[in-house]
Amino acid sequence: MRKKLFKILTIVILLLQIVLAFSAFAAQTPLNQSEQDLKPETNHRLRWAPEFKLSLIQPLQIGTEAYWAPSLRFFGDLGYVKFPIPNKQTTVDLFNVQAGARWFPFASWLFFYGSFGYRNFNISTDVSSFKVEDETIASSGTINLPAFYFAPGMGMIFELSESLSIGFDLGLQLPLISSGTLSFNDAATGENSNNSDQLKVNSGNAMGRISGLILPELTLCRLSWRLK
């Protein structure tokens, strides 16, 4: 546990060093026109902006961003993708939901963010071709890897017009609570590997370690449209 906390603190410190390196440039960047349009008397009037994200880990996400003030925006995103791998007779499900805030300390293109989220990776595959002494031991196998996480990071947003903006960001998903299961099922007999307590515990411990891995959070492109 201490080693894991030490790794997390080390990563956070490295992120802060990167932030300080960018801050000198960001402080000199003037306000863009859309930021200037947010006058002081309307700073706390919510303005909504639907957004679409193309990212690593969770390929497609949709969400919304709420403009609370020129330096603070709240956001929420939801993504779900299910795709088959025909040759491997495998299906992969990816689900992710998160909510957080973006802070623009220099009123420029640079921002820092923090969010809490939940992710779940589910993989189902046909294992009937695997045999022991010419006997099929199971017809299907399933891996389930859920985790609640906290994600700090930083990014950039550029205004393409008064309403349209494009953004990129990079962060880390630091698991707070994670677990996992690995099970094999025999459709012919109805037997399941989780019927054995020992197998269930052993596989759960192994999958839990995989589910608790720190993952990168990379947004390759985020498009948002601010509503009037």
**Cα 52 to Cα 12: distance, rounded to the nearest angstrom:** 27
Give the range of the structural domain holding residue 207, as residue numbers without chain letter.
Answer: 2-225
User: Tens digit of pLDDT for each residue in 168-188?
Assistant: 999 999 999 998 888 777 655
Chain centre to alpha carbon of residue 98: 7
**Cα 61 to Cα 169: distance, rounded to the nearest angstrom:** 14
Element (H, E) at 216: strand 215-225
Element (H, E) at 199: helix 197-211
CA neighbor of 171 nearest in space, from 116, 113, 107: 113
**Distance (Å) of CA 181 to CA 16, 97, 208:** 35, 21, 7
Q: Looking at the predicted structure, is the pLDDT value of residue 159 above 50?
A: yes
User: Tens digit of pLDDT for each residue in 101-156?
Assistant: 999 998 778 999 999 999 999 988 876 555 544 555 556 778 899 999 999 999 99
Instruction: Give me the amino acid identity at 157.
Output: I
**Cα 208 to Cα 202: distance, rounded to the nearest angstrom:** 10
Here the tokens at position 191 are: 């037997």
pLDDT at 21: 44
Q: What is the CATH number of the domain that holds 63?
A: 2.40.160
User: Tens digit of pLDDT for each residue in 23-77?
Assistant: 444 444 444 444 444 444 344 567 899 999 999 888 889 999 998 888 999 999 9
Number of domains in the chain: 1
